[in-house]
Structure 1
Amino acid sequence: MKIAITGGTGFVGKHLTNHYLNNGHDVYILTRSDKTSSQKNLQYVQWLSNEANPASSLEGIDVMINLAGKSINDRWTEDAKKAIVESRVKATREVYSIISKLEKKPSVLINASAIGIYGTSRDKTFTEDSTERGTDFLAETVKVWEKEASKVEELNVRTVFTRFGIILGAEGALPKMLLPYKLFAGGKLGSGEQWVSWISIEDLVKLIDYVIQNDKITGPVNATAPNPVKMNEFGKTIGNILNRPHWLPAPEFALKTILGEMSILILEGQKVLPEKLEKHHFTFTYPYVDEALRNILK
């Protein structure tokens, strides 16, 4: 296959790129810079600049994967929030533009998304059929993002919104969560009752490939493991694996003072189940969080 990836140098993008290169596929990474590759089946394609003409290099691609967007892990100033939204909208509009110019359209667009669209709750369970939508910044961002990506359906291209949970791997959010435990200062964050809907990076790559191969899967797909846990259990599991105490609580008011509005990423959560994947008989390599964490931390 010929696979184009935006955001290909990020955490998820690097894992997807390595997976497809290792399996003999051709990968095209869209980048703002003018880069060249020494690998015969890896090509960098310039985009989002005045002189770029990415469509000319992407004729014949089979799959487009859109992961582009500013990180949400920096403090949410008003300028940062604006950049988070605009980066996703701009990139997704450009993806539409590229696909519209291709004589042969790709068979599918995999567009990154997030479970934040459902809003936060400590007692509800969300699946792809859930109609509830949050009103916080994250939920509003995802709504705009998915609305922009859905326009690709007008081009008769199967479009899938992979709604990511917390991705567990050696990079990303997990190292920051491990640090207090490594310093013997780990403990309950906020109430500890908030849900953590998570997925291992290995399973995320596996499910994206599964969705690409299964043309019956369309629309939203919850990219989360089937066994979410509460934050307190998540922390205790980290402590047990690292042989570190889980004893020093971080109260809500302190986290809100330090992190501001971004504290919602830690203090709130949602219980999200991958119902669509299970209906299509996808098998998780790491369905339980202790297995996933042990694999990363071994």
Structure 2
Amino acid sequence: MKIVIAGGTGFIGNKLIDLFLQEGHEVIVLTRKVRPSSNNLSYVVWLEDNTSPEKEIGNADVFINLAGVSINDGRWTEKHQKQIYDSRMVATYELLRIISEMPQKPSVFINASAIGIYPVSLNNVYTEDSTDMPDDFLGRTVHDWEKKAKRAEEFGIRTVFMRFGVVLGNDGGALPLMALPYKLFAGGTVGSGKQWVSWIHVVDVVRAILFAVRSERLRGPVNVTAPFPLRMKEFGKTIGSVLGRPHWIPAPSIAMRMALGQKSKLVLEGQKVLPKVLLEKGFDFEFPKLESALRDLLT
């Protein structure tokens, strides 16, 4: 297959490229910087003046959109929130424009999304069937992002929204910061400890994307989370256990809010999200439980 990836130079994108190349596919990465191509991997400049990436792409079988300013970088000032939102809208609009210019459309459009589309809750359980939506920055951003990407269906393209949970990896994502206090013998419960962490190993993220590409009947929202989420207290205890470190110094909510501002919601609030669609379609998680995922990443 010929696969186009926007946002392919990030934490998830790099691993996804490696997987596709191992599978023998041709990969085109849309990027703002000129990069050298090699074997089945090439780079095409986009979102710059006087560029027409559709001319270099030609036809393609798959489009994958991972593009957007990271929600983990910097404080959530009004300016940064605008950058997070606008980057997703602009990138998705440009991908749709590129597709509109292609005589032969791709068969599938995979768009990144997030479980932030579900409200925070200590008691509710969310699947792809859930329709409640929070009235906050993340909820609005994800809702509008999916709405924009859904326009790919107007071209007759199967469209999938991969709603990522807390992605765990040892060279990006949330885990390095979560594990650091434990490595310094200062780990403990964050906030109340009752908030849910719907996590997933990055290996299962890229495997789930490949699964979505191959599953011709899969469309719409897909929760990309492990089947066994944990509350924050148990999550932290498991990190401590795997690293052989104590879980004892708490990080109060007020301290987290002072340190992170609005972004503290990412660690102080959460939701219990289950991957109903992946399980029903027969996806086999390599790391369904947290301890095995952390042992793979931290030891």
| Structure 1 unaligned blocks of 5 or more | none
**1:274-294, CA deviations, whole angstroms, 9 ceiling, x for partnerless residues?**
001111111111110111111
**Residue 227, structure 1, aligned to residue 223, structure 2:** no
Tell me the secondary structure at the aligned position of residue 248 of structure 1: coil
**Residue 199, structure 1, aligned to residue 195, structure 2:** no
Cα distance in 1, alignment partners of residues 271 and 210 from structure 2: 25
Offset at residue 249 of structure 1 (A): 0.3
**Residue 43, structure 1, aligned to residue 37, structure 2:** no
* Preserved contact between residue 46 and residue 54 of structure 1 (Cα < 8 Å): yes
Letter in 1 for 2:156: N
Cα distance in 2, alignment partners of residues 256 and 201 from structure 1: 27
**1:144-182, CA deviations, whole angstroms, 9 ceiling, x for partnerless residues?**
111110111111111000000000111221101111001
Aligned pairs (5 A) from 1:177-196? 177-196=178-197
**Residue 216, structure 1, aligned to residue 217, structure 2:** yes
Q: Please, what is the CA RMSD of the aligned residues?
A: 0.7
**Residue 59, structure 1, aligned to residue 65, structure 2:** no
Sequence identity, in percent?
54
**1:246-275, CA deviations, whole angstroms, 9 ceiling, x for partnerless residues?**
000011011111111100000000000000
Q: Which runs of 4+ in 1 moved over 6 A?
A: none
Cα distance in 1, alignment partners of residues 239 and 255 from structure 2: 22
| Deviates most, 235-244 or 28-37 | 28-37
Cα distance in 2, alignment partners of residues 47 and 220 from structure 1: 27
Cα distance in 2, alignment partners of residues 34 and 243 from structure 1: 44
**Residue 76, structure 1, aligned to residue 76, structure 2:** yes
Letter in 1 for 2:106: P
* Preserved contact between residue 58 and residue 102 of structure 1 (Cα < 8 Å): no
**1:166-209, CA deviations, whole angstroms, 9 ceiling, x for partnerless residues?**
00111221101111001110000000000000111111111110
Letter in 2 for 1:10: G
Offset at residue 58 of structure 1 (A): 1.7
1:156 alignment partner in structure 2: 156
Aligned pairs (5 A) from 1:1-298? 1-37=1-37, 39-73=38-72, 74-170=74-170, 171-298=172-299
| Structure 2 unaligned blocks of 5 or more | none
TM-score of the aligned structures, taking structure 1 as reference length: 0.98
Offset at residue 34 of structure 1 (A): 2.3
Tell me the secondary structure at the aligned position of residue 60 of structure 1: coil
